[in-house]
Structure 1
Amino acid sequence: MSPLALGNSRSQRQLRLSWPDGREQLLDHAELRRQCPCSQCRAFRLRGMTPMVDSRVRVVEVVTQGYGVQLVFSDGHERGIYPWAYLLSLA
């Protein structure tokens, strides 16, 4: 299931998703960065470590990929593609 609408607020540091079932989801940019699904970040978390993320980090670009979205962060990280189901699970 993909969202009906996707918005990015740099000033509020939130990604907003509107789902077909009526749910509205607000996701914090820093938390999205901490939960990055790329192999490097996942391996880090599997070792029981939490990625160090500056709370001021922002999503500066959103690139849809069909099955999800690639987020480009202000700290330069851009490796993760967040599947729609994964984003929904972060609620």
Structure 2
Amino acid sequence: MNPVAIGNSQTAQTLRLNWPDGRESLLSHAELRRQCPCSQCRAFRLQGTPPMVDPRVRVIEINAQGYGLQLVFSDGHQRGIYPWPYLAQLPS
């Protein structure tokens, strides 16, 4: 299920996703960076050492990948592609 609208607020540091069922997800940039699904970040989390994330990190670019989004962060990280179901289950 793809969102019907995507918004990115630099001021509020949130990514907004509006889903077809009427739900809205407001996801903080820092939390998105902490929850990056790339293999390296996932390995860190599985080892009990989640990546240290500066709370000022921002999503500076959003690239649609058909099945989800590639997010580019202000700290240079851009490896993770966030599938729609993964984004939908993240707490807002």
TM over 0.5: yes
Unaligned runs of 5+ in 1: none
Residues 1:66 and 2:66 are matched in the alignment: yes
TM-score by length of structure 2 reads: 0.97
RMSD: 0.5
Give the aligned partner of residue 48 of structure 2.
Answer: 48
Q: Deviations over 1:39-75 (max 9, x none)?
A: 0000000101121000000000000000000000000
Could you state the TM-score of these two structures normalised by the residue count of structure 1?
0.98
Please give the alpha-carbon distance, in whole angstroms, between the structure 1 residues aligned to 2:44 and 2:72. 19
Question: 1:77 aligned to 2:89?
Answer: no
Mind listing any 5+ residue stretches in structure 2 that lack a counterpart?
Answer: none
Match of 2:17 in 1: 17
Which residue identity is paired with 2:35? Q
SS in 1 for 2:70: strand
4+ long deviations beyond 6 Å = none
How far apart are the structure 2 equivalents of 1:35 and 1:81? 11
